[in-house]
A and B are shown apart, each in its own frame.
Chain A
Amino acid sequence: MKYLNPISLFNKNLLAIVKLCEWLLVGGSLCVVSVALRAGDHSALDGAIQALAKLEPGQDLSVLNPIEQAVVQSRADEQARMDIENRLVAILRGTATDDAKAYACRQLGIVGSDESVPVLAELLPNPRLSHMACYALEDIGSPAALRSLRDMLGKTEGREKIGIAISLGRLADPDAVLILSDLLHARDNTLAEVAVTALGRIGTLPAAEALRSYAGAAPPEFDHVVADAICNAAELLCRRGDPAAAVRLYESLQSAESERIRAAAFRGLMVAKPSESIRMVIAGLASEEPWQRAVAADYLVDLKQQEAIRAIASAIPELPLSGKIAALVSLQDRADPALRAAALELLDHPDTEIRIHALKVLRMSGTAHDVTELAHLATAAEDDRIRAAAFETLRLMPARGTNQALIGWMQTEGNLSPAIVQCALARRSPMFLPVFLEAAKDSHPAIRIEAFHALEIMATERDIHTLIELLCRSSEGEEREAAGRAVWISCQKIPDPTQRPAPLLAAFQKADAAGQCAILPSLARMGGEESLRAVHSAMQSTDRSVRDAGYRALANWPDASVADELFEIARHGNLPAYRVWALRAYARVISLPNDCPPQQTFDRLKQALDLATRIEDKKLILSRFGSVRTIETLALLRDFVDDPELQGTVVAAIFEAAKGLSQTDPEPARAALEAIRSLTQDEALRQQIPKVIQDIDARKQDR
């Protein structure tokens, strides 16, 4: 016959009544369901509690799920909470296993109240369950829980006593000061140390006094523990509005032998005596003791008052070199006119470090008026570190009017340079776009190239036609490459992909031979049928330069759609140069990431390899095998590994393929890597090979 707990029966009925009232009030049928479910929950809970009473280690814990559900759901239902608490307390009072009782303690940690305290206190002397009792009592944390811990401190020994003392400290029980003070002189060092720490965490005046008295008598090995506890107590006293007591405590540490203790005291004093903190910060920054400077600088970071910042800024000129740097570093994120003035003054300082830190301060405190000076330093300073610092400041300065000031400076004759174009680009403001377009026409090639790099990032689809004009005027080589890239990227910004080649195709139709040669590489990179038609027409041109550009454009095609045509040219092209371009392009496009089976790519690359006669072409094709991650690839590459002319390329390809296979086929990959380990002359590869091997081995372990 099923046992019915009268309390639970009452609770069950009470819950039903409550739910019925809810239903009557809101008139919702869902509440009826809720009542029914709750009744079902209770029967499941009864079963779970019975299972807990008989729980043996290793049993499936899922039978206890209703207990956890009841615990969690009791949050807004005091009756339900009391019910589950009572049931768990009954487990602790009964003959359940220690495992079951430990489980009950965990749940009481969530739902326990003063009702649980007596039974938990009874567990405190139990070596197996003392900790779990502390676990629950700490979470309950009520005056009754504290009282029970204090009572049991005198009735326990060893680890259990230590555990209780720790809990009293964690709960910062002010009434435990006396009993913990008694433990300071315990013969058990651990107990004494725990008492010291606990008193520090309590942090009341009596606790602090106990620590201060003990400090003189404590064994030297306790110096740091005691000082730490005193600092804890002082911090708490300060927080509770008794800075004078905190000051006394910190002052008691000032003469400590340990530099760290003195540092802690110095820091504490600045916090506890805010009226003197500015004076102390300045004194600290001026100190010859590195630890004092570091403490002062650290404190300065958290100092908020504007008048304090100004006072320190005005003291910077008088500080020694190290103090200046410490102050500048600490204040570099503040925007303040006094700081700006100090930083500007330091830009002429003979020490480079000082100048660098002054420039960093200007990032936040600088104004548009400083742009001229900064731009000058960013482009013309002799020391590259100064140039870099000025560049960074110009890049990051948020002051109003900075962009306009920089544009004005760039438009002044003689000021334009690649560096300042880079700097303007780094600000990523569309305001600079007209300046970049103008710079792309500059007489200096380096400025034009830098301008195209900037336009590549900043230009929009509205600028495409201007960019194409600039492309047609560009010099061959690096400039044309940069211009072409800017055009191509801008075309990519056209939302409709089918329309992207249109501006280039239109320009191509109208362009002269030189213009067509300039446009073709970019056009080819767009891909697509219309572009291909234009490329084919160029390949048929009677103008040799356009024809060459057409073949090159085909070799620059972005995907494998032209692979067959390339292979045909590689085999039967009119000119050796066309055959070489096509062969190399063929190897490239067929080994681009694709949906083909790796075996197909492998076969096509092998065909290409058979056609290659020049060593550089063989190298290229072999290198592309690296992206074909098959076991056959490793076998093929191994056949070339002994060729001294090809070895470097082949080893790199084996590495790439093996690395790609390292997750799917770790053993062959590992073997291939081991085989090339001693062959490579490449230092980077030499370092990476063992790492991949290591990763393969590690993957067998924990992730």
Chain B
Amino acid sequence: MSQQTKPLNRRQFVKAMAGASTLLAVPHVIPGSALGKDGAVPPSERIVLGGIGIGGRGTYDLGCFLEQPDVQFVAVCDVKEARRVAVKQLADQKYQNRDCAMYCDFRELLDRSDIDAVLIATGPNWHATAAIYSARAGKDIYCEKPCTKNISQSLLLAETMRRCGRVFQAGTQRRNLPHFAFACELARTGRLGPLRTVYAHPAGMTTAMSRWLPPQEAPPIEKVDWDMYLGPAAWRPFNSVMLNGFHFEKGGGFMGTFEPGGQFLGGGVLEWGSHCVDLCQWAADKDSTAPVEYCPPEDGQIVATYADGVKLILREKDWLPLGSCPVRFEGDTGWIETGDSGKFVLSSPELLAGRKVEEIGGYPATFHVRDFLDCVKTRSQPKCNADIACYSHIACHATNIALFLGRKVQFDPVQHEFLGDEQANRLRSEAIRAPWRI
């Protein structure tokens, strides 16, 4: 059977247009609004980068950026003075100067016209809001996952990137690792036969409401800007556990909480789902849609179903020992399972068909960062652009809503609404705290 040519989606179109980039040197995604830097032309040589919210994960990401020869990191923004200073030292040491500027308010960093792109590695609470502000300021964006807190934000993020003609890369770096890409390719090209089921590991199948912790005396604002840390999230009194908690408002929306001692309650499937569900969406060729039905957990697994009947199953057990973040794709004639070890298991060696797939364990982000930087230069869209992230996040949010409501929900991925369930529909969005607005 010959492989059919499929209609271009927007990302492919943008990429195709980039092929003609000598002739079309302006951003190829057309701004429907008038935001961003006028006449911004991507720098041909060096990409000037700023960092927003550079903690543990952000420092790792930044390391991947700093090793790229065409990146110049010039500014850091963090609500914590200690982080600002640490990152400045890192950058200054790298460049042997004292040039890295420090900001507490990211809007000041975005005001700098010399900055082309930003790395956003704040807590998940800020991701979408900071990304949208950055896009409107004309910056390209590498944003850690999970990128959004709810369905509404996911759509708005994609729409903003499209309008502003920005390059956006979600920090779901597994799309740029060869073994995951190979697994998805087998599924997408029909080598497994008609695809029936894709499996994802959610790393958590509970949801919980956002909450407060006991008030503590807040540090001086120059040390920690607590109000800025809370940002778009609901106000609550200062608490150091929350400040340093990895999971503050992770999972976002109505979910996401933090318990003293680090116990993770909120977020549901969004933690790993933003990786694993994203890979399943890719494998099932569903990058521009989401499942239409979501069932609450039964026998340790959540089953979501796409319009064509393909099942997305989230389960925490019964995986082969292939490392964290495993996925499995099953078709009528074969299957493949892989994970963070870089190894994969095939139903039949024939599926390899002479291919050599590089084994890269440990989910490095270097390739993903490079993909982003290349796209910044060519004005094409990277592997995990905003349109793709939008729907993989929507799939996770809708799953979380089914989890929270404890009942089956049906979702229309075109109108972006749940069918006959007002409660579920109300959970699609949330007000963010003024003066922040998106």
Task: Tell whether, in the assembled complex, residue A138 and residue B23 are in contact, meaning their CB atoms are under 8 Å apart.
Answer: no
Task: Tell whether, in the assembled complex, residue B437 and residue A194 are in contact, meaning their CB atoms are under 8 Å apart.
Answer: yes
Residues of A participating in the B interface, judged by any CB pair closer than 8 Å: 56-58, 61, 68, 71-72, 75, 98-99, 102-103, 106, 109-111, 127-132, 134-135, 138-139, 159-160, 162-163, 166-167, 170, 190, 194, 197, 223-225, 227-228, 231-232, 235, 253, 256-261, 263-264, 267-268, 290-291, 293-295, 297-299, 301, 321-322, 325-326, 329-330, 332-333, 353, 357, 363-364, 395-398, 402-403, 427-429, 456-457, 489, 492-493, 659, 662-663, 690-692, 694-695, 697-699, 701-703
Question: In the complex, which of the residues B20, B210, B362 contacts A326, with contact meaning CB atoms closer than 8 Å?
Answer: B20
Q: Name the distance in Å between A593's Cβ and chain B's nearest Cβ.
A: 10
Interface presence of B161 (CB below 8 A): no
Known: A72-B423, A260-B31, A264-B34. A428 touches B364 (CB 8 A): no
Cα A663 to Cα B363 with chains together (Å): 12
Q: Name the distance in Å between B276's Cβ and chain A's nearest Cβ.
A: 12
Closest A residue to B162 by beta carbon equals A298
Task: Tell whether, in the assembled complex, residue B254 and residue A162 are in contact, meaning their CB atoms are under 8 Å apart.
Answer: no
Interface presence of B414 (CB below 8 A): no
Cα A346 to Cα B405 with chains together (Å): 58
Question: In the complex, which of the residues A110, A263, A395, A690 contacts B3, with contact meaning CB atoms closer than 8 Å?
Answer: A395
Cα A235 to Cα B5 with chains together (Å): 33
Task: Tell whether, in the assembled complex, residue A260 and residue B34 are in contact, meaning their CB atoms are under 8 Å apart.
Answer: yes
Cα A629 to Cα B6 with chains together (Å): 45
Known: A258-B38, A695-B364. A396 touches B33 (CB 8 A): no
Task: Tell whether, in the assembled complex, residue A263 and residue B426 are in contact, meaning their CB atoms are under 8 Å apart.
Answer: no
Cα A674 to Cα B3 with chains together (Å): 47
Task: Tell whether, in the assembled complex, residue B430 and residue A363 are in contact, meaning their CB atoms are under 8 Å apart.
Answer: no
Known: A106-B209, A162-B435. A329 touches B364 (CB 8 A): no
Task: Tell whether, in the assembled complex, residue B34 and residue A223 are in contact, meaning their CB atoms are under 8 Å apart.
Answer: yes
Known: A102-B234, A163-B434, A397-B2. A235 touches B32 (CB 8 A): yes
Of the candidates A160, A197, A291, the one having the most CB atoms from chain B within 10 angstroms of its own CB is A291
Which chain B residues lie closer than 8 Å to A134 at the CB level? 431, 434
Interface presence of B56 (CB below 8 A): yes
Which chain B residues lie closer than 8 Å to A428 at the CB level? 1-3
Which chain A residues lie closer than 8 Å to B20 at the CB level? 322, 325-326, 329, 353, 357
Task: Tell whether, in the assembled complex, residue B24 and residue A128 are in contact, meaning their CB atoms are under 8 Å apart.
Answer: no
Cα A89 to Cα B361 with chains together (Å): 53
- List the 7 shortest-distance A-B pairs measured between CB atoms, nearest first: A163-B434, A227-B34, A261-B34, A228-B33, A701-B56, A322-B23, A58-B214
Known: A134-B431, A268-B32. A402 touches B2 (CB 8 A): yes
Which chain B residues lie closer than 8 Å to A127 at the CB level? 235
Interface presence of B246 (CB below 8 A): yes
Cα A167 to Cα B434 with chains together (Å): 10
Which chain A residues lie closer than 8 Å to B254 at the CB level? 106, 109-110
Task: Tell whether, in the assembled complex, residue A398 and residue B423 are in contact, meaning their CB atoms are under 8 Å apart.
Answer: no
Task: Tell whether, in the assembled complex, residue A57 and residue B236 are in contact, meaning their CB atoms are under 8 Å apart.
Answer: yes
Residues of chain B from 1 to 47 with CB closer than 8 A to chain A in the complex: 1-8, 10, 13, 16-17, 19-20, 23-36, 38-39
Closest A residue to B29 by beta carbon equals A298
Q: How many B residues, CB 8 Å from partner?
A: 85
Closest B residue to A231 by beta carbon equals B33
Task: Tell whether, in the assembled complex, residue B362 and residue A329 are in contact, meaning their CB atoms are under 8 Å apart.
Answer: no
Which chain A residues lie closer than 8 Å to B1 at the CB level? 428-429
Which chain A residues lie closer than 8 Å to B239 at the CB level? 57
Question: In the complex, which of the residues B3, B6, B26, B56 contacts A294, with contact meaning CB atoms closer than 8 Å?
Answer: B26
Interface presence of B211 (CB below 8 A): yes
Closest B residue to A703 by beta carbon equals B324
Q: Is the interface of B mostly helix, strand, loop or mixed?
A: loop
Known: A261-B34, A301-B8, A322-B24. A701 touches B59 (CB 8 A): yes
Which chain B residues lie closer than 8 Å to A256 at the CB level? 34
Which chain A residues lie closer than 8 Å to B198 at the CB level? none
Question: In the complex, which of the residues A58, A291, A322, A457 contacts B212, with contact meaning CB atoms closer than 8 Å?
Answer: A58
Known: A162-B435, A398-B4. A290 touches B23 (CB 8 A): yes
Count the A-B residue pairs with Cβ separation under 8 angstroms: how many?
Answer: 247
Task: Tell whether, in the assembled complex, residue A427 and residue B2 are in contact, meaning their CB atoms are under 8 Å apart.
Answer: yes
Binds A, one of B178-186, B346-354, B390-398: B346-354
Closest A residue to B227 by beta carbon equals A159
Question: In the complex, which of the residues A170, A663, A701 contacts B431, with contact meaning CB atoms closer than 8 Å?
Answer: A170
Cα A259 to Cα B36 with chains together (Å): 11
Task: Tell whether, in the assembled complex, residue A267 and residue B30 are in contact, meaning their CB atoms are under 8 Å apart.
Answer: yes
Task: Tell whether, in the assembled complex, residue A290 and residue B431 are in contact, meaning their CB atoms are under 8 Å apart.
Answer: no
Interface presence of B220 (CB below 8 A): no
Question: In the complex, which of the residues B38, B353, B423 contacts A260, with contact meaning CB atoms closer than 8 Å?
Answer: B38
In the complex, 11 of the A-B residue pairs with CB atoms within 8 angstroms, ordered by the A residue number, are A134-B431, A139-B430, A228-B35, A231-B32, A260-B38, A264-B31, A268-B32, A298-B28, A397-B5, A701-B59, A702-B55
Closest A residue to B165 by beta carbon equals A260
Which chain A residues lie closer than 8 Å to B19 at the CB level? 329
Cα A601 to Cα B427 with chains together (Å): 57
Which chain B residues lie closer than 8 Å to A297 at the CB level? 17, 24, 28
Task: Tell whether, in the assembled complex, residue B427 and residue A695 are in contact, meaning their CB atoms are under 8 Å apart.
Answer: no
Task: Tell whether, in the assembled complex, residue A159 and residue B435 are in contact, meaning their CB atoms are under 8 Å apart.
Answer: yes
Task: Tell whether, in the assembled complex, residue B33 and residue A103 are in contact, meaning their CB atoms are under 8 Å apart.
Answer: no
Task: Tell whether, in the assembled complex, residue A72 and residue B8 are in contact, meaning their CB atoms are under 8 Å apart.
Answer: no
Task: Tell whether, in the assembled complex, residue B434 and residue A131 are in contact, meaning their CB atoms are under 8 Å apart.
Answer: yes
Which chain A residues lie closer than 8 Å to B236 at the CB level? 57, 99, 102
Known: A139-B426, A329-B17. A260 touches B35 (CB 8 A): yes
Task: Tell whether, in the assembled complex, residue B36 and residue A260 are in contact, meaning their CB atoms are under 8 Å apart.
Answer: yes
Which chain B residues lie closer than 8 Å to A690 at the CB level? 67
Which chain B residues lie closer than 8 Å to A163 at the CB level? 431, 433-435
Which chain A residues lie closer than 8 Å to B13 at the CB level? 298, 301, 329-330
Cα A170 to Cα B438 with chains together (Å): 10
Task: Tell whether, in the assembled complex, residue B2 and residue A396 are in contact, meaning their CB atoms are under 8 Å apart.
Answer: yes
Closest B residue to A360 by beta carbon equals B16
Task: Tell whether, in the assembled complex, residue A694 and residue B34 are in contact, meaning their CB atoms are under 8 Å apart.
Answer: no
Which chain B residues lie closer than 8 Å to A294 at the CB level? 17, 24, 26-28, 30
Task: Tell whether, in the assembled complex, residue B361 and residue A659 are in contact, meaning their CB atoms are under 8 Å apart.
Answer: yes
Interface presence of B309 (CB below 8 A): no
Q: Name the distance in Å between A70's Cβ and chain B's nearest Cβ.
A: 12
Q: Name the distance in Å between A335's Cβ and chain B's nearest Cβ.
A: 9
Known: A263-B31, A493-B350. A99 touches B212 (CB 8 A): yes
Which chain A residues lie closer than 8 Å to B55 at the CB level? 702
Cα A397 to Cα B4 with chains together (Å): 7
Q: Name the distance in Å between A680's Cβ and chain B's nearest Cβ.
A: 17
Which chain B residues lie closer than 8 Å to A261 at the CB level? 34
Interface presence of B300 (CB below 8 A): no
Interface presence of B219 (CB below 8 A): no
Task: Tell whether, in the assembled complex, residue B30 and residue A110 are in contact, meaning their CB atoms are under 8 Å apart.
Answer: no
Task: Tell whether, in the assembled complex, residue B208 and residue A694 are in contact, meaning their CB atoms are under 8 Å apart.
Answer: no
Known: A109-B254, A162-B435, A428-B3. A231 touches B349 (CB 8 A): no
Task: Tell whether, in the assembled complex, residue A321 and residue B34 are in contact, meaning their CB atoms are under 8 Å apart.
Answer: no
Task: Tell whether, in the assembled complex, residue A131 and residue B235 are in contact, meaning their CB atoms are under 8 Å apart.
Answer: yes
Task: Tell whether, in the assembled complex, residue A131 and residue B5 are in contact, meaning their CB atoms are under 8 Å apart.
Answer: no
Task: Tell whether, in the assembled complex, residue B437 and residue A166 are in contact, meaning their CB atoms are under 8 Å apart.
Answer: yes
Which chain B residues lie closer than 8 Å to A223 at the CB level? 34
